[in-house]
A = this chain, B = another copy of it.
Amino acid sequence: MSAPFVYALPVRFADVDHAGIVYYPRFFHFFHVAFEELWRARVGPRAYSELLDRDRVGFPAVRAECAFLSPLRFGDTAEIEVAVARLGGKSITFRYRIYRAATPEQPRTPSAEGTVVCAVVDLARFVAIPVPERVTALLADLVEKEG
């Protein structure tokens, strides 16, 4: 069984909308923050920016979807899990799960679950390229196992 990468992010004062709950597009931002933190934690603070700027490799989103299960509010902490649903030849499907962190009053609660399909592209020519080996290595343990 693989274990996902987890990043805890406090819900900020301005993450909410007029209804007092986290604005739903922010969930996709939370996904991305966890993706950035995966690189920081495993390679270093400039790992992802150097991949883009020096190596000219990028991961534009091709498709994204999310089911919203229960709202998050200011004061909550979002625990964001990153796994890899599919490591393809020229694309990667990330799976994200967001939980409201446990508090003295409430257990840990699922808040959202989604996937983001990213192409792997040469940014200089904006064409799809094979997933670089070091990216495969970085993500290998996050690939979901069947059964």
Contacts and interface: CB of A to CB of B under 8 A. Distances in A.
A32 B14 contact: yes
Contact of A63 (B17, B67, B75, B77): B67
Interface string A34-67: 0011001000011011101000001011111111
A21 interface: yes
B13 A123 contact: no
Contact of A16 (B18, B60, B64): B18
**Copies of this chain assembled into the complex:** 4
B65 A63 contact: yes
Contact of A17 (B13, B26, B45, B116): B13
Contact of A25 (B16, B19, B29): B29
A68 B31 CA distance: 16
A10 B45 CA distance: 8
